[in-house]
Amino acid sequence: MPFRTRITRWDLSLEESVLSLAVLREKVAIMTSGGDAAGMNPAVKSTADYALKLGMEPYLVKWGLRGLIEGWIEPATDAFLSDLIHRGGTALGSSRSKRFFEYEFRKQAYENLERLGIGKLVIIGGDGSFNALNQFYEDFKVPFAGIPATIDNDISGTDYCLGVDTALNMIRSSVDSIRDTASSFSRAFVIETMGRDCGYLAMTSALATDAEVCLVPEIEYDLDCIGKRLRAQRDAGKQYLLGIVAEGTGMGETLTRWMSDALGMDARLTVLGHVQRGGSPTVYDRIMAFKFAGAALDNLQAGEKNKVVVFKDGAFGMASINEITDTKHESDPALIKLCRGLSC
């Protein structure tokens, strides 16, 4: 009987130890926020997988900032993570929550994290999302790491954001299809890309698809000069024309009418819109997601707080929110130089 009593005490002690270890195990919550971008899902999966390798317990926040407020937070499961790597958009969902900018709702979000014992966050999104969590850190000192994900590629301090390569491939595929019709009917087509005030998608796509015209906010354009060049190309036997326009110029319809009037061609406008955000992530976006995730968690574990992972000149680093938001984004000068000849 005494022997049995000792065994019972040992069992209870072991159970208590296991519970204690579970309580002490670091927990990190992963979320997506802002506009969706291909690469978000691979980033969620790779962040959760790497967190487990580091001995952390990963949680997932559904529906972005709104999910933090509402407490839509649950443990990451293999069943959910196993179906992410090939999917575009964000399976976690996203939202833009005005309520998060009110202290009482940020406090509610903090209490939800505290209740679950979550002490760190990884957010995959844009600068607006990073600003929101920066304020959250100022209020409650919850460390976070940001992973840049936006097809616009317009976050200062980083040469690349998740989703850009997939968006470029979606544009390339669409333009190649439009070229078939343009050449069949000897037409001029204007294709409008997304990107807000950043012309990265338009410039890169114009070069990749051999477009004759490219109008972006970063480069001054001269329609008279463009017209002279295009007429010479038409006289030399050019049967069709392609123009790529960034949405930030507001020139889609104007350039289409101009091509029709000034060049005497049947001209059509195609606004690609949100098709650029979708699609299965490319290999490059999937691999970059793994690298961004690793850098985010490594730096969180090293004691970095409220920083964003950046990819600059082929290397990963961390930048403060102020470094990102206080610096005006500038497109690659080399890319601009290559595209100047398409704007005059």
Per-residue DSSP letter, 308 = E
CB atoms under 10 Å from CB of 20, counted, come to 10
Residue 43: both structure tokens together: 């980033």
pLDDT in tens, 24-50: 689 999 999 999 999 999 999 999 999
| Residue 18: partners with Cβ closer than 8 Å, 6 or more residues away | none
CB atoms under 10 Å from CB of 168, counted, come to 21
pLDDT of residue 96: 81
What is the mean pLDDT of the segment spanning 37-66? 97
pLDDT of residue 24: 62
pLDDT in tens, 73-116: 999 999 999 999 999 999 999 988 889 999 999 999 999 999 99
Whether 13 has a pLDDT exceeding 60, the answer reads no
Whether 296 has a pLDDT exceeding 60, the answer reads yes
pLDDT of residue 27: 98
Q: Are 201 and 193 in contact (CB under 8 A)?
A: yes
C-alpha–C-alpha distance, residues 242 and 187, integer Å: 9
pLDDT of residue 4: 36
Q: How many angstroms from the chain centroid is the CA of residue 39?
A: 7
What is the mean pLDDT of the segment spanning 314-323? 93
Residue 199: both structure tokens together: 């012309």
pLDDT in tens, 108-146: 999 999 999 999 999 999 988 999 999 999 999 999 999
Residue 218: both structure tokens together: 């970063």
The DSSP string of 129-156 is HHHHHHHHHHHH---EEEEEB-TT---T
The pLDDT-based confidence of 12 (bands split at 50, 70, 90) is: very low
Q: How many angstroms from the chain centroid is the CA of residue 62?
A: 17
The pLDDT-based confidence of 228 (bands split at 50, 70, 90) is: very high
What is the mean pLDDT of the segment spanning 211-236? 96
Instruction: Give the chain's mean pLDDT.
Output: 92
Q: Just give the CATH number of 165-278.
A: 3.40.50.460
Short-list 234, 232, 204, 199, CA closest to 216: 199
Vertex 142: Cα angle to 138 and 146 (nearest 5): 90
Tell me how far CA of residue 18 lies from CA of 21, 23, 53, 75, 114, in angstroms. Answer: 5, 9, 19, 18, 21
Residue numbers annotated as active site: 152
C-alpha–C-alpha distance, residues 312 and 318, integer Å: 10
pLDDT in tens, 141-162: 999 999 999 999 999 999 999 9
Helix (H) / strand (E) containing 47: helix 40-53
**Where exactly are the structural domains of the chain?**
2-163+281-329, 165-278
pLDDT of residue 22: 45
Per-residue DSSP letter, 172 = H
Share of the chain above pLDDT 70, in %: 93
Question: Does the fold of domain 165-278 match that of domain 2-163+281-329?
Answer: yes
Sign of dihedral through CA atoms 248, 253, 257, 260?
positive
| Residue 98: partners with Cβ closer than 8 Å, 6 or more residues away | none
C-alpha–C-alpha distance, residues 269 and 273, integer Å: 12
Whether 20 has a pLDDT exceeding 60, the answer reads no
Q: What top-level class would CATH report for the domain 2-163+281-329?
A: alpha beta
